[in-house]
Amino acid sequence: MKRVEHEFAPVYDKNSKILILGSIPSVKSREVGFYYAHPKNRFWKVLSIVFQEEIIDKKDFCLRHHIALWDTCASCVIEGSSDASIKNVVPNDLNVIFSSASILKIYTTGKKAYEIYQKYLYPIYKREAICLPSTSPANAQKSLEDLVLAYQVLKD
């Protein structure tokens, strides 16, 4: 268990309409410095299928589709990449995004991100979030087809 700081910026611009929040970047994402970087995480594959396009530049893809990406935790104590081990959360200040983008919908990628949002962020911002299934390789119970079906809401 060690304290981890979120060390890279959120992805968003003034045209962002959808905010997708994870918990805290995985070990691999922290190494790479970008979201959902573990090769077995299905996040980018799911979005590629949902939007029916190959994703070359992930940041550009998000901005073109008015998607903002960030995480619920600014820092926390965690063992490796295990969401189940997260403790001592310091939440991110979502006003960074809310002050410049007109976010219409908020989604979390998994139950832990949703729990953190509900506990620390909903009481501040009073904005509902919808929990999408985790795309992590740890969530083996969800097939790729299940994930694609759930993530179709991003196109609505």
Global pTM value: 0.96
**Which residue blocks in 36-142 are alpha helix, DSSP H?**
43-50, 58-64, 95-98, 111-116, 122-125
CB 29 within 8 A of CB 36: yes
Of 29-38, 61-70, 132-141, which range is least confident?
Answer: 132-141
pLDDT digits (tens, 9 = 90+) for 97-138: 999 999 999 999 999 999 999 999 999 999 999 999 999 987
Q: What pLDDT score does 137 carry?
A: 81
CB 68 within 8 A of CB 100: no
SS3 state at 42: coil
**Rounded mean pLDDT of the chain?**
96
pLDDT above 90 for 85: yes
Conformational region of residue 111, where left means phi above 0, alpha means psi within -120 to 50, and beta covers everything else? alpha
CB 108 within 8 A of CB 132: yes
pLDDT above 90 for 141: no
**What domains appear along the chain, each with residue ranges and CATH number?**
2-155 (3.40.470.10)
Task: State the Cα–Cα distance between residues 145 and 102, nearest whole angstrom.
Answer: 30
CB 35 within 8 A of CB 29: yes
